[in-house]
Chain A
Amino acid sequence: MRGTHMTNETSTADKAETTDETPGGTKRPGRTARHWRAGLLRGGIELRHLLRNPKEMSGHLSNVVVALLIGAYISDDVPGTHTPMAHLVLAGFAAYLLFQIGLINLPQILVTEREEGALLRLRATPGGIPAYLIAKCLLVVVMATGTLALLLASAALLVDGPLPRGPGDWLTLLWVTTLGLLAVVPLGAAIGAVLPNPREALALIMLPTMALLFTSGAVFPITSLPVPVQQVASVFPLKWMAQGLRSALLPDSARAAEAAGSWELPMVALVLTAWTVLGFLLAVPLLRRAARRESGSRLTARHRRAARSGAMPA
C-alpha cells in the first residue's frame, strides 16, 4: 500500500520537474474532457439540489402561479383587437421570467456562492472555474426552459393560455428565448461579479427589475404608457423579449396594439444581440477579476462583516 504511494509520488515529482521549465506546456490529453465532465456533473447535482429545495422551488413556482391567476382573472380583450388581454399578460410574464432568471436569480447565486467560498475553492482546483461556468450555464438553461414550458403548458391547460400556432411561431419562440437568455445571462453574471453581498444584492437588483416589468409593456399594452417611458423602456431588453414572445404566442391581428403596429422582429433581434455583446464584454473581465480577487483573507473579512451585521453566525 505504502510502496505504491511512494512510486506515485516520485512519478508526479518527475513530471513536475519537466513542467517547471515550461509551465502549461505539458497539456495532458483529456484535461478539457475532464473539465466538461466535471462541469456537467456539477450542473446536474446543482439542479437536483434546486429541485429538492422547497423554499427555492416555491419561489420559482409562485411566479408561475401569479401569472396563471392574473391570466384567469382578466377577461377583457386587448384594446382594438380580439386577442384576450390574458394572452398578452401571459406572454409578458414568460418574458419576465426569463429576464428574472438571468438578472435576479443568477446574480444572487453567484454572489452567495462567492461569499460562501465556492468560487475560491474552485479557483484553487485545477479546471474549477471552467467547470463552474459550464455548470451555471446548464443550470440557467434548464431553469429557463423548465419555467417557460411549465408556464405555457399550465396556462394552455388551465386558463386557455396562448401557444405558438405553426412551425414559424415555434421557431420565433425558440430564437427569441435563446437570444433573450443570451442578452440577460452574461449581464446577470457581470452584475453578480460586482455586487457586494447577497443581502444588499437583492435590494439593488429588485427595484430596477420591477420598474422594467411595469414599463416594458410586459403586463399591459405598452401603448397605454407615456411616450418618454416607452422610449426609456425600449433601451432595455425586457420590452423586446416580451414583444418577441408576443409575436410567437399571439395571433398576427394583435399587432394592432403594438406601438409600431408590427412585431418589429428585426429590431428585437438587433437590440437583444446588442445586449448580448455588451453583456459578454462586461462579464468576461468582471468575472475574471472576481475570481482573481478571491483569497482566504477576503473571505474571512466578508464573513466578519456579515457576522457583525447579524446575517450569518460568526
Chain B
Amino acid sequence: MTRFEHTPVRPVIRIRDLTMAYGAVDVLHGIDLDVHRGEVFALLGPNGAGKTTTVEILEGFRQRSAGEVRVLGADPERGDDTWRGRIGLVLQSWRDHPRWRVAELLTHFATYYPDPRDPAELLALVGLTDQADRQVNRLSGGQRRRLDVALGIVGRPELLFLDEPTTGFDPEARREFHLLVERLARDEGVTVLLTTHDLVEAERLADRIAMLVGGRIRACGTPSELARRAAARAEVRWTADDGTPRRERTADPSQLVWELHRNADGPITDLEVRRPTLEDTYLHMVHRAADGTDEAADREARAA
C-alpha cells in the first residue's frame, strides 16, 4: 500500500530543532521529527518527558520557544479554520456535553465541516449504534473515548491526534480501540500521531515509534528496528559452581556460552540467554535519563 512507499510529498508533520522552555527551564531540547502521510506514529515516553508539550505545540494550543514546526504545511501557531478542519483531536480529559445524546452530538459536530462523514455510519464504525440515543454522561469510559474518536474524525481529518487513548480501558475495550485505529489508518489513509506511555500499545499500532525521554528523542524507528537495536546486547544468566547467581551482558551470547562450557566440567546450572525486548531498551533509556527527566517533569507540571 501507499503508506510504505517513499513519496516525494512533504511530511504531514515536520519538526526541526524544536525547543520549549518554561521560564528558565528547558522542557524540549531540540527535537527533529518527520511524520509521513498515512503513517501511525507513536510518541512514547514516561510522564513528564515532554510528550504533551510537543503534541500541544503541534495542535496549535501552545507557543513554542524556538524551532521550526509545520503541520499539514502550516505553522500551527497561525493555523486558521481551514487548517483546523483538517485535524482531528482525541484528548484524554474530555467530559464535555454531558447532557447531549450521542447521535445528537455527533450530528451537531458534523455541521461544522464542509464534507462530514455520515453520523450513522460513523456510529457503526466506532460501535456505538446501540448507544445512539443514550445521554453522553451515561456512557462507560471506553464508549466515551470511542465517541471522542468519532467526534475527532467526523470532519474527515487528514491527521488525527490521539492522546493516551486507552488509559483506563479494560483489555477488550482496548483491543477494539486498537482495531478501530488500525482500520482508520489502513483503510482510510488517516495519519495518526499517538502519544502513550504504554509500550505494548505503541508496538501494536505504530508504523514508527519515537522514544521521547527527558525532552529529547532518544530513539526513532520501526518497532522491529528498535527491537533489533535492543537485541544488540543480550543477557546471559547462570549459576556458578559455588552456587552464586551470575549474569553478564554481551553482544555475542553464543561466544560467552561456549566459553562457559569450555571452562566447565559439566552442564551449567540455570543457564539462560535473554534477548532484551523493546521494553528493556525503553526502560533502560528511561532510567538512564531518570534524574534529568524527573526534574523536567516537575517543572513542566508546575508551569502548566
Question: What residues make up the interface of A, taking CB atoms closer than 8 Å to B?
Answer: 2, 5-6, 8-9, 12-13, 16-17, 19-20, 23-24, 26, 28, 31, 34, 37-38, 41-42, 45, 49, 53, 113, 116-118, 120-121, 123-128, 131, 294-301, 303
Contact, CB under 8 Å: A116 / B96: yes
In the bound complex, CA of A294 to CA of B94 (Å): 12
- Is B249 an interface residue, CB under 8 A from the partner? no
- Is B80 an interface residue, CB under 8 A from the partner? yes
Q: Mark B47-72, 1 if CB is under 8 A from A, else 0.
A: 00000110110010110000000001
| Max count, chain B CB within 10 A of own CB: residue among A13, A19, A124 | A124
Contact, CB under 8 Å: A38 / B96: no
Contact, CB under 8 Å: A117 / B96: yes
Given the known inter-chain contacts A9-B158, A296-B52, please indicate yes or no for A24 contacting B80, CB distance below 8 A.
yes
- Is B104 an interface residue, CB under 8 A from the partner? yes
Contact, CB under 8 Å: B93 / A12: no
In the bound complex, CA of A298 to CA of B56 (Å): 11
Contact, CB under 8 Å: B108 / A42: yes
Contact, CB under 8 Å: B111 / A300: no
**Cβ-neighbour of A41 out of B72, B87, B108, B304 (below 8 A):** B108
Contact, CB under 8 Å: B82 / A296: no
**Cβ-neighbour of A299 out of B55, B83, B86, B94 (below 8 A):** B94
- Which residue in chain B gives the minimum CB-CB distance to A119? B96
- Is B243 an interface residue, CB under 8 A from the partner? no
Contact, CB under 8 Å: A31 / B111: no
Contact, CB under 8 Å: B61 / A294: yes
Supply 8 A–B pairs (Cβ within 8 Å), ascending by A: A16-B86, A23-B79, A23-B83, A26-B82, A45-B104, A121-B94, A121-B97, A303-B93
In the bound complex, CA of A48 to CA of B158 (Å): 34
Contact, CB under 8 Å: B111 / A38: yes
Which of B13-21, B112-120, B273-281 is the interface stretch? B112-120
Residues from chain A with Cβ under 8 Å of B155 in the complex: 125-126
- Is B98 an interface residue, CB under 8 A from the partner? yes
In the bound complex, CA of A23 to CA of B91 (Å): 26
In the bound complex, CA of A173 to CA of B213 (Å): 65
Shortest Cβ distance from residue B12 to the other chain A in the assembled complex, whole angstroms: 10
Contact, CB under 8 Å: A120 / B91: yes
- Is B262 an interface residue, CB under 8 A from the partner? no
Given the known inter-chain contacts A37-B111, A297-B304, A299-B93, please indicate yes or no for A5 contacting B84, CB distance below 8 A.
no
B interface secondary structure, majority: loop
In the bound complex, CA of A125 to CA of B60 (Å): 12
Shortest Cβ distance from residue A314 to the other chain B in the assembled complex, whole angstroms: 10
- Which residue in chain A gives the minimum CB-CB distance to B94? A117
The 9 closest A-B pairs by CB, nearest first: A20-B73, A118-B96, A295-B61, A126-B81, A126-B85, A296-B91, A117-B96, A24-B80, A117-B94
- Is B204 an interface residue, CB under 8 A from the partner? no
Contact, CB under 8 Å: B111 / A116: no
- Is B89 an interface residue, CB under 8 A from the partner? yes
Shortest Cβ distance from residue B134 to the other chain A in the assembled complex, whole angstroms: 14
In the bound complex, CA of A31 to CA of B81 (Å): 10
In the bound complex, CA of A166 to CA of B158 (Å): 61
**Size bracket of the B interface:** 35 or more
**Cβ-neighbour of B112 out of A17, A19, A128 (below 8 A):** A128
Contact, CB under 8 Å: B93 / A49: no
- Is B224 an interface residue, CB under 8 A from the partner? no
- Is B78 an interface residue, CB under 8 A from the partner? yes
A interface secondary structure, majority: helix
Given the known inter-chain contacts A117-B96, A295-B62, A297-B52, please indicate yes or no for A41 contacting B111, CB distance below 8 A.
yes
- Which residue in chain A gives the minimum CB-CB distance to B148? A121
In the bound complex, CA of A131 to CA of B61 (Å): 19
Contact, CB under 8 Å: A45 / B61: no
Residues from chain A with Cβ under 8 Å of B304 in the complex: 297-298, 301
In the bound complex, CA of A127 to CA of B113 (Å): 9
Shortest Cβ distance from residue A136 to the other chain B in the assembled complex, whole angstroms: 14
In the bound complex, CA of A124 to CA of B79 (Å): 11
In the bound complex, CA of A5 to CA of B198 (Å): 32
In the bound complex, CA of A90 to CA of B300 (Å): 54
**Cβ-neighbour of B56 out of A12, A37, A295 (below 8 A):** A295
Shortest Cβ distance from residue A93 to the other chain B in the assembled complex, whole angstroms: 28
- Is B187 an interface residue, CB under 8 A from the partner? yes
Residues from chain B with Cβ under 8 Å of A38 in the complex: 108, 111-112
Q: Mark B158-193, 1 if CB is under 8 A from A, else 0.
A: 100001000000000000000000000001110000
Contact, CB under 8 Å: A113 / B96: yes
Residues from chain A with Cβ under 8 Å of B187 in the complex: 2
In the bound complex, CA of A20 to CA of B72 (Å): 8
Q: Mark B261-304, 1 if CB is under 8 A from A, else 0.
A: 00000000000000000000000000000000000000001001
Contact, CB under 8 Å: B189 / A6: yes
Given the known inter-chain contacts A41-B108, A42-B108, please indicate yes or no for A126 contacting B52, CB distance below 8 A.
no
Contact, CB under 8 Å: A13 / B78: no
In the bound complex, CA of A121 to CA of B91 (Å): 9
In the bound complex, CA of A125 to CA of B272 (Å): 55
- Is B238 an interface residue, CB under 8 A from the partner? no
Contact, CB under 8 Å: A125 / B62: no
Contact, CB under 8 Å: B108 / A117: no
**Cβ-neighbour of A131 out of B84, B112, B156 (below 8 A):** B112
| Max count, chain B CB within 10 A of own CB: residue among A16, A37, A121 | A121
Residues from chain B with Cβ under 8 Å of A19 in the complex: 73-74, 82-83
In the bound complex, CA of A53 to CA of B137 (Å): 14
- Which residue in chain B gives the minimum CB-CB distance to A28? B114
Residues from chain A with Cβ under 8 Å of B93 in the complex: 117, 296, 299-300, 303
Shortest Cβ distance from residue B59 to the other chain A in the assembled complex, whole angstroms: 7
